[in-house]
Structure 1
């Protein structure tokens, strides 16, 4: 399967990448597309439907955001989610948002893709009744 975004899409949304970063970004964009398809198995069908039921820019935008988060890991202040400093006796603490550089979908991204929607269903726990038959009363059941 193909990626939803290309390296040029990532560069347009973030910054120009070096040659080494281009290769990494290309692999991560394929991984991001695979993860999106695993989380939302119907995404390709919704993109190819006539008319499409999912805007093609949504998976593209989310793929770029996922790769950007992964590539930012440990690179500076953009990757930091919390920082703390103390003047005496010299304490500093930094917490990274994605220290391992993992690809992941946020709750908002799952909602945009339409794969986090709750679905209602019903399970009939009673005995099977023939259509049109008189319903059984609870005391008539052989418990």
Structure 2
């Protein structure tokens, strides 16, 4: 059971869902939550303890699905004269995306988090060129 439901998607679209859209929304909501749980396996605990507000999870899941339903073909542009169109590359990859801003709202750093690079330098033990006269 996902946090969001098709009615949450309908509210964000501002129109009723057709029966096929409602079925698709239910499936895509499950996919959106699976994506979230891949990064946050303890999602339920975070929601229960209030670390993440339930409404934030609902919003992120429903918005991800609403983006797909608003533009199921993934078009980024379309021209009427001598008809042409451009498809967003993300559409070929499933188009169900969660933007970086939403990941941050969930407490996930989409950039992978802070890290430190420590150089590993091995100095010779002898001779030490900086100790002049010891050769």
Aligned-pair CA distance for 1:61: 0.7
1:65-84 aligned within 5 A = 65-71=63-69, 72-74=71-73, 79-83=74-78
Aligned residue for 2:129?
A: none
Aligned residue for 2:5?
A: 6
Which runs of 5 or more structure 2 residues have no equivalent in the other structure? 126-135
Aligned-pair CA distance for 1:30: 1.2
Which structure is richer in relative contact order (CA contacts within 8 A, separation 6 or more)?
2
C-alpha contact 2:12 2:66 (8 A) present in aligned 1: no
What TM-score results when the alignment is normalised by the length of structure 1?
Answer: 0.66
- RMSD over aligned CA atoms reads 2.8
C-alpha contact 2:10 2:17 (8 A) present in aligned 1: yes
Secondary structure of 1:99 counterpart: helix
Aligned residue for 2:131?
A: none
C-alpha contact 1:43 1:113 (8 A) present in aligned 2: no
1:1-143 aligned within 5 A = 2-14=1-13, 15-49=15-49, 52-71=50-69, 72-74=71-73, 79-83=74-78, 91-97=82-88, 98-100=90-92, 101-116=94-109, 118-120=113-115
Q: How has the CA–CA distance of structure 1 residues 20 and 92 changed in structure 2, closer, same or farther, with 3 Å as cutoff?
A: closer
Q: How has the CA–CA distance of structure 1 residues 38 and 122 changed in structure 2, closer, same or farther, with 3 Å as cutoff?
A: same
Which runs of 5 or more structure 1 residues have no equivalent in the other structure? 126-137
